[in-house]
Amino acid sequence: MRRLSSLKSRLRRLLLRVTPERRPDPNALPPQILRKLVGGDHWDDVGSNQFEYLKKEGLQPGHSLLDLPCGSFRAGRHFIDYLETGHYFGVDMGVVGIERGIQYVLEPLGLMEKRPTIHVGRLTAEPNDLSLFTGFTRFDYIWMHALFDHIPNEIIHRALQDMSSILVPGGKLYATIFLNPHGPAFREPMIRPRNDSLENAVVTFPDHDPWHHTIDFFQETASGIPALRLDACLYDYPHPLGLRMLRFVRESPGAP
Ligand SMILES: C[S@@+](CC[C@H](N)C(=O)[O-])C[C@H]1O[C@@H](n2cnc3c(N)ncnc32)[C@H](O)[C@@H]1O
C-alpha cells in the first residue's frame, strides 16, 4: 500500500514537471505505470495499433472522430494528438476510467489543450440521445473498439442505428468483434489465444460476455438500418486476441 502511494506521488511529481511546451511522445510514458493506474493490458501496442489502423483507413487531421467507448484514452491520446483541435469526441460509461485517463494520460501530455469533447454516457437498448454528447456534430469516423464483445445484441443493434444517424454521408463506422466463422448454428464457446499462446487466453460465448458473433448477425442487423451498409470484415487488424474489424459505411443519398 505504502509502495503504491509513494509510486503515485513520484508519478505526480514527474507529471507536474511536464509542461505543454515540452510535450513528451505518448509512447514514451512508462507502460507499466499506466497499466497500473489506468487499467487494461496491452496499453501501448493496442493503443497505437488502433491509431495506425484508422490512419491507414483514411483518417485525416481535419476529420471528426467519435471514439466510443474511449476507455482511458488508450487510443484516444493518439487520435487527439493527430486530429485538429476540437475534432475528437470520446464517450464511455466508465467514470473512473475517464477521470484517470484525463488526469494521468491527457493532462500530462498537454492534450486537453486540443479541446477534446469527453462525456460519460452509457449505450442502452433504448434510443440513445447522442446529441447530448456531440451537439450537432456529424462524424466522418466512428470508432467502436472492444465494445461489441461486452454488450448484448439488442444494445449493438440500437447502437448501430443511432450511430448511423450521426455519420456524415459516406462516413465510416469501425467496430471490433470476436468472430464465429462457423455460422449461427454453432453455439459452442471458443478459445481466443493471446499472441498465439494459450497462456492468458480468453474464452468467448454466443450468449454472454465476452460475446462472439457471426458476420450474418451484422449483415442482418445492418440490413434493417436505413443507409447503413456492412462494407467488409477486415482480417488484417492486429490484435493480441485476434479481434476482427468490421467496417460499416453510411450510404450517400442517391447511392444505388
Ligand atoms: C475493453 S474497454 C475498451 C476501451 C477502449 N475502446 C480501448 O480500446 O481502450 C471496454 C469499454 O467499454 C465500456 N462500455 C461497456 N459497455 C458500455 C456501454 N453500454 N456504453 C458505453 N460504454 C460501455 C467500458 O466502460 C470500457 O471502458
Tens digits of residue pLDDT in 176-202: 999 999 999 999 999 999 999 999 999
When the pLDDT of each residue in the chain is averaged and rounded to a whole number, the result is: 88
Domain boundaries along the sequence of the chain: 2-250
Q: What is the pLDDT of residues 86-122, one digit of tens each?
A: 999 999 999 988 998 998 899 999 999 999 999 999 9
| Cα-to-centroid distance, 133 and ligand 1 (Å) | 16
Q: What pLDDT, on the 0 to 100 scale, is given for residue 189?
A: 98
CATH code of the domain made up of 2-250: 3.40.50.150
Unique residue bearing C-alpha cell 456531440: 134
CA distances from 19 to 10, 38, 57, 108 (A): 17, 21, 33, 8
Its pTM stands at 0.88
pLDDT grade for 30, boundaries at 50, 70 and 90: low
Asked if residue 2 has pLDDT above 80, the reply is no
Question: How far does the centroid of ligand 1 lie from the alpha carbon of residue 22, in Å?
Answer: 31
The answer, yes or no, to whether residue 226 has pLDDT greater than 80, is yes
Q: Is the dihedral of CA 38, 40, 41, 43 positive or negative?
A: negative
Residues in the chain: 256
Determine the average pLDDT of the residues in 44-72: 96
Is any ligand 1 atom within 6 A of the Cβ of residue 147?
A: yes
Reported as a pLDDT band with limits 50, 70 and 90, residue 41 is: confident
User: Residue 168 Cα, ligand 1 centroid: separation in angstroms?
Assistant: 24
Non-local CB neighbours of 41 within 8 Å, separated by 6+ positions: 35, 240
Quote the ligand 1 centre to 82 CA distance (angstroms).
22
Nearest alpha carbon, ligand 1 atom 19: 123
pLDDT at res. 21:
36
The answer to whether the CB of 92 is under 6 A from ligand 1 is yes
The pLDDT of 161-186, averaged and rounded, is: 97
The fraction of the chain above a pLDDT of 90, given in percent, is 74
Whether ligand 1 lies within 6 angstroms of the CB of 12 is answered as: no
> Ligand 1 center to residue 7 CA distance, Å?
27
